[in-house]
Chain A
Amino acid sequence: MARKADLRQVDAIAREFGLDRREFGDYLHELKRSGDRGSEANGDFTTDELRERARMLHEERDDGGSDG
């Protein structure tokens, strides 16, 4: 259930920033694997940390993609 809660949180932030939800999940997963770990248990990101990463991804995208 914790996995689903994590995914819900990620999806909510992706929608907030107009990002593709699967792509945002992949992006966060890459960050975690490269050592950019959040302050939650298991290195998961807090809501504020997710927003910060969403901004990072969004800035590097042309139009932020769309929710798919």
Chain B
Amino acid sequence: MEALMGDDTSPLVQAVLEALAGQECTVVRDSYAEQLVIGFGSPSRADWPLRSTSRAPWLVYSRYGGWLVGDGDRKIASDEKTLNDRVLQRIRAVLLHQHVQQVDFDSDAKSLAISLENGAEVRFGPSEGVDETEELWALEAPSALLIEARLGGVSVKRHAREHDETGLSKAAALHRLVRHVAELTGLALLEPPPSAGQALDAILAAPDGKLLLVQFKLQAEPPRVDIRTIVVGDEAREVGSTELPLPELTPATMAARVRRILSAA
């Protein structure tokens, strides 16, 4: 993926960051290796197969750099101490639901300071022991733009995190889930007829004539899988339906639920 590097990126970075002003802080969480993650804008859940990670159109990762959160008068938390749930709660108390008032990017220091309407501030910047190739912070912005600040320069590029831009990737992942469930349960996986359209994503068929009609409801909150049970005799009749929350579903747990549905039908 083509990336813009070096001093030339400053005007572009500034232009992108200007659009962050006015956004509401909606996500405060951590990630692996005690990264602080702060999100702005309408919150959402990360794409499958992640199940519970919160995302937002604007997402800053502290990556290898240092960070500091202040409430306007004093320091609330920083990377100098362990980032745990208690510290996250303190940060949430001062940042969540506050709107961004000002964004300052220092192209020399490679630091990013986000000020909020209540006077709170979160800063990302250099830290000891980081080499020139490692990000001090990374900002995912709308339209899949990614700004990465390193001691060696700032890059702006488009990233491929938005797997659902076309829906193809997500559909493939869901199809793989159903195929895996079919393998685990010994059921036959049948393609739904084209006439079913979006009302049906897959059919799982048992040897005794029972059919499970699977439909993914990705727009539901939380996203879920609807399974309708059909018994085919002289005529087909629906004998039950089940809704499974997608975020908590793995191939193994879905297979277990499918077995229960079939034994109850």
Contact = CB atoms under 8 A, between A and B. Distances in A.
Contacts of B134: 4, 8
Given A7-B63, A22-B138, A30 B52 contact: yes
Contacts of B51: 30, 34
Interface string A2-24: 01101110100000000010111
- Interface of A (DSSP majority class): helix
Most chain A beta-carbon neighbours within 10 Å: one of B32, B53, B140: B32
Nearest to B158: A68
A10 B32 CA distance: 9
Interface string B130-144: 100010001010000
A22 B48 contact: no
A68 B163 CA distance: 13
Given A4-B64, A20-B160, A68-B160, A62 B168 contact: yes
A65 B160 contact: yes
Contacts of A7: 32-33, 35, 63-64
B51 to A, nearest CB: 6
A62 B173 contact: yes
Interface residues of A, number: 30
A29 B63 contact: no
A54 interface: no
Given A1-B129, A22-B138, A68-B159, A60 B173 contact: yes
A6 B32 contact: yes
Given A4-B64, A30-B52, A23 B169 contact: no
A26 B32 contact: yes
B219 to A, nearest CB: 20
Contacts of B34: 3
22 contacts: A4-B130, A6-B32, A7-B33, A23-B46, A23-B50, A26-B53, A27-B49, A28-B32, A29-B53, A33-B52, A34-B51, A60-B173, A60-B176, A60-B177, A61-B163, A61-B173, A62-B163, A65-B160, A65-B163, A66-B160, A68-B157, A68-B161
- Smallest CB-CB A-B distances: 10 pairs: A68-B159, A62-B169, A25-B32, A60-B49, A6-B33, A7-B33, A62-B172, A66-B160, A29-B32, A28-B32
